[in-house]
């Protein structure tokens, strides 16, 4: 997954200077998907979605939900964006 993430971000595969940060965001995205879907393991078929979410987290580390400056405003999704949620299986129900 790290190699795919580097390719999509345009980082040279031999450049290891960002590997720690990229692995952090890959782990964070796996935890977020496991939590959202109530899974203990992520199927291999969702590896591309894990990478997409890791890239989202990498590019949006602030977690800002909305910022306004004068007449301009921007909104950044906090958590899993809808475009990625729509690719995930529906969350499983936890039985207590």
DSSP structural state of residue 43: -
pLDDT given at position 82: 87
Residue 64 or residue 95, greater confidence:
95
Which pLDDT value is given to residue 78?
67
Q: pLDDT tens digits for 20-77?
A: 999 999 999 999 999 999 999 999 999 999 999 999 999 887 765 667 788 887 776 6
Q: What pLDDT, on a 0 to 100 scale, did the predictor assign at position 20?
A: 97
* Model pLDDT, residue 15: 95
Break the chain into its structural domains and give their ranges.
Answer: 2-85
- The whole-number pLDDT of residue 22 equals 97
The pLDDT of residue 44: 95
pTM listed for this prediction: 0.81
Is the sign of the CA dihedral 60, 62, 64, 67 positive or negative? negative
**What pLDDT, on the 0 to 100 scale, is given for residue 96?**
74
Rounded Cα distance, 83 and 63, in Å = 17
- 66 touches 75 (CB < 8 A): yes
């Amino acid at each position: 997954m790290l190699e795919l993430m580097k390719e999509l971000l345009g980082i040279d595969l031999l450049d290891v200077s960002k590997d720690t940060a990229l692995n952090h965001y890959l782990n964070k995205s796996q935890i977020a998907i496991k939590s959202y879907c109530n899974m203990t393991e992520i199927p291999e078929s969702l590896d591309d979605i894990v990478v997409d979410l890791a890239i989202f987290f990498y590019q949006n580390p602030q977690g800002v939900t909305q910022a306004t400056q004068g007449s301009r405003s921007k909104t950044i999704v906090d958590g899993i964006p809808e475009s990625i949620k729509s690719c995930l299986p529906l969350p499983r129900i936890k039985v207590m």
